[in-house]
DNA sequence: CCCGAACTTGGACAACTGTCCCAGACGCTT
DNA sequence: AAGCGTCTGGGACAGTTGTCCAAGTTCGGG
């Protein structure tokens, strides 16, 4: 029996707690920025006592590593079935980018979290390699999208997919950051459409 | 006479101190990341006593505002005479981008500082507008570069310069961040060259 | 029914943070 | 010489930070 008026203490498995804390950290960073992500703030958001933090994670950095992995793989899963075929390769690419963009505008926090995590990982020796793996995942996801797009439209890429994938990541990253700053949705869509048209020129019928 | 063995205390004017502190903050953030930019760390880097900080700045945020302005305008000044004419518009654009890229690889700290500042400003209400002005400066600089490039090569842009400028900022931003993570210089140059070629297709003889 | 493992919890720790004060030192004017 | 703004710099402040502890509660298996 708990000491609190007969209510049972909520007992949560350590792995569930980890998930709760990771999700809470995501919400905090997304809404208030990386600097606000203190252990106490995260625990408060998760409704957990402070001591629960270090019962589940050896350190705050360990939480950040897991947060990065979870967020990146959520992004990849969402993109796995994010290919939209509309006529030829050009329109399909454009539509796929537009659909992805809709998810960004609908949930900008994810991008805020990801960019904050990247900046942080670049300077924290204990997180060395985390940012690299993060961007490798981006590139793999982009390459997969481009490949299935080409397959579905019956074309092949005339330049290495890895190169196109990097261009895709570069543009999506850049568009997102610019939009986070000035929220100019029209400009974002224009840039994305122009980019889709350019990349489409690198396809040749197979 | 100073109390330290007859050596004179270095007396620095408040405006010189401001400059010293701003430069010190730049160095600290560039080398150790935004989180390391504490008042004490900055003062130590500047060789100034801690109290000098709040003699020159009302708060740390005020330092950040000035750091942003100084860094952005240094970037703009460097880019003002950064147009390189080599044959036609296409090669000239490519060369201009490559020259700019050389400055990034030579001094990555500037980009680290700028991205950190952006992320911070996005969540600090007292810095509202700083990030916006920062990106407006980016866009103006890019538009100016594109205009003088077109002038020098005797062409006009067939789409609004503002749109091309945003594309330029998007790509340079994205390329920089990706490179900061994986330091793949070849990939960066490839993307920049491809982008230069694309933008060049938006020029028509005047 | 009881034992040990899993889990919770408030409180504590030392270190660090941004900010402020104030007595003093300096150098310019009169 | 005397006064006065400008600048120094040590020390202090209240608050916050990441981390850890020891004592408690709960639960599944013997």
DSSP states along B119-132: HHHTT-GGGTTHHH
A175 touches chain B (CB under 8 A): yes
| Residues on chain A touching B187 (C-beta within 8 angstroms) | 163, 166
A8 — pLDDT class (breaks 50, 70, 90): low
Boundaries of CATH 1.10.357 in chain A?
Answer: 61-205
A36 and B123: CB-CB below 8 Å?
Answer: yes
Pair B181, A135: CB distance under 8 Å: yes
State the average pLDDT for chain A: 94
CATH number of the domain located at residue range(s) B1-57 in this protein: 1.10.10
A166 closest CB neighbour out of B36, B115, B187: B187
A206 — pLDDT class (breaks 50, 70, 90): confident
> Is the CB atom of residue B177 positioned under 7 angstroms from any atom of strand D?
no
Mean pLDDT of B78-106: 95
| Helical pair B108-121 and B130-153, crossing angle rounded to 10 deg | 130
Please tell me the distance from the alpha carbon of residue A122 to that of residue B111, in angstroms, as a whole number: 12
Dump the DSSP string for A57-75.
Answer: -SSHHHHHHHHHHHHHHHH
Pair A135, B182: CB distance under 8 Å: yes
| Residues on chain A touching B115 (C-beta within 8 angstroms) | 115, 119
Q: Domain A12-57 belongs to what topology?
A: Arc Repressor Mutant, subunit A (1.10.10)
Please tell me the distance from the alpha carbon of residue A92 to that of residue A98, in angstroms, as a whole number: 10
Enumerate residues 6+ apart whose C-beta is below 8 A from A10. Answer: none
Q: Which residues pair with B155 in a beta bridge?
A: B205
Give chain D positions with protein CB within 7 A: 6-12, 16-22, 24-27
Q: How many other C-beta atoms lie within 10 A of the C-beta of residue A113?
A: 23
Looking across all nucleic acid strands, the nucleotide with the smallest C1' to CA distance from residue A17 is C7
A123 closest CB neighbour out of B33, B172, B178: B33
Pair B65, B130: CB distance under 8 Å: yes
pLDDT tens-place string over residues B95-148: 999 999 999 999 999 999 999 999 999 999 899 899 999 999 999 999 999 999
Instruction: Give B124 CA → C26 C1' in Å.
Output: 39
A178 and B170: CB-CB below 8 Å?
Answer: yes
State the average pLDDT for chain B: 93
Please tell me the distance from the alpha carbon of residue A26 to that of residue A20, in angstroms, as a whole number: 10
- Residue A46 vs residues A2, A13, B125, B155: alpha-carbon distances, Å: 20, 14, 24, 59
CATH number of the domain located at residue range(s) A61-205 in this protein: 1.10.357
First to last CA, chain A: 70
Please tell me the distance from the alpha carbon of residue B14 to that of residue B5, in angstroms, as a whole number: 25
| Percent of chain A surpassing pLDDT 90 | 88
A194 touches chain B (CB under 8 A): yes
In a mutational test of the B interface, the residue from A118, A166, A185 whose CB has the highest number of chain B CBs within 10 Å is: A166
Instruction: Quote the distance between the C-alpha of residue A49 and its chain's center.
Output: 28
Please tell me the distance from the alpha carbon of residue B88 to that of residue B14, in angstroms, as a whole number: 49
Q: Is the pLDDT of residue A4 over 70?
A: no
Instruction: Give A178 CA → C11 C1' in Å.
Output: 45
Q: Rounded to two decimals, what is the model's pTM? A: 0.93
What length does chain B have?
206
Pair B88, B194: CB distance under 8 Å: no
Please tell me the distance from the alpha carbon of residue B162 to that of residue B139, in angstroms, as a whole number: 7
pLDDT attached to residue B9: 57
Beta-sheet pairing, A203-205 with B203-205:
unpaired
B173 and A174: CB-CB below 8 Å?
Answer: yes
Boundaries of CATH 1.10.357 in chain B?
Answer: 62-205
pLDDT tens-place string over residues B169-205: 999 999 999 999 999 999 999 999 999 999 999 999 9
Three-state secondary structure call for residue B205: strand
Please tell me the distance from the alpha carbon of residue A15 to that of residue A22, in angstroms, as a whole number: 11
Please tell me the distance from the alpha carbon of residue A59 to that of residue A51, in angstroms, as a whole number: 12
H or E element, residue A127: none
Please tell me the distance from the alpha carbon of residue A172 to that of residue A161, in angstroms, as a whole number: 16
Looking across all nucleic acid strands, the nucleotide with the smallest C1' to CA distance from residue A6 is D25
The per-residue b/e assignment along B166-176, b for 16 or more CB within 10 angstroms, e otherwise, is: bbbbbbbbbbb
Asked: is B62-205 a CATH 3.30.70 domain? The reply is no
Boundaries of CATH 1.10.10 in chain A?
Answer: 12-57
B173 and A177: CB-CB below 8 Å?
Answer: yes
Give chain C positions with protein CB within 7 A: 6-12, 16-22, 24-27
B135 closest CB neighbour out of A115, A123, A181: A181
B131 closest CB neighbour out of A112, A163, A181: A181
pLDDT attached to residue B11: 75
């Amino acid at each position: 029996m708990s000491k609190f008026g007969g209510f049972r203490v909520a007992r949560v498995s350590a792995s569930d707690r980890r998930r709760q804390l990771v999700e809470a950290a995501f919400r905090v960073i997304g809404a208030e920025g990386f600097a606000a992500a203190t252990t106490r703030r995260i625990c408060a958001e998760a409704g957990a006592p402070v001591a629960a933090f270090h019962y589940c994670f050896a350190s705050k950095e360990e939480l950040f590593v897991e947060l990065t992995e979870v967020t990146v793989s959520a992004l990849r899963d969402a993109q796995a079935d994010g290919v939209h075929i509309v006529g030829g390769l050009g329109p399909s690419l454009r539509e796929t980018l537009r659909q992805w963009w809709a998810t960004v505008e609908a949930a900008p926090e994810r991008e805020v979290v990801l960019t904050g995590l990247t900046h942080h990982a670049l300077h924290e020796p204990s997180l060395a390699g985390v940012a690299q793996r993060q961007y490798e995942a981006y590139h793999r996801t982009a390459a997969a999208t481009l490949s299935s797009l080409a397959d579905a439209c019956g074309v092949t890429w005339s330049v290495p997919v890895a190169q196109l994938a990097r261009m895709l990541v570069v543009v999506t990253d850049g568009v997102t950051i610019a939009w986070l700053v000035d929220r100019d949705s029209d400009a974002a869509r224009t840039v994305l459409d122009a980019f889709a048209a350019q990349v489409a020129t690198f396809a040749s019928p197979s």
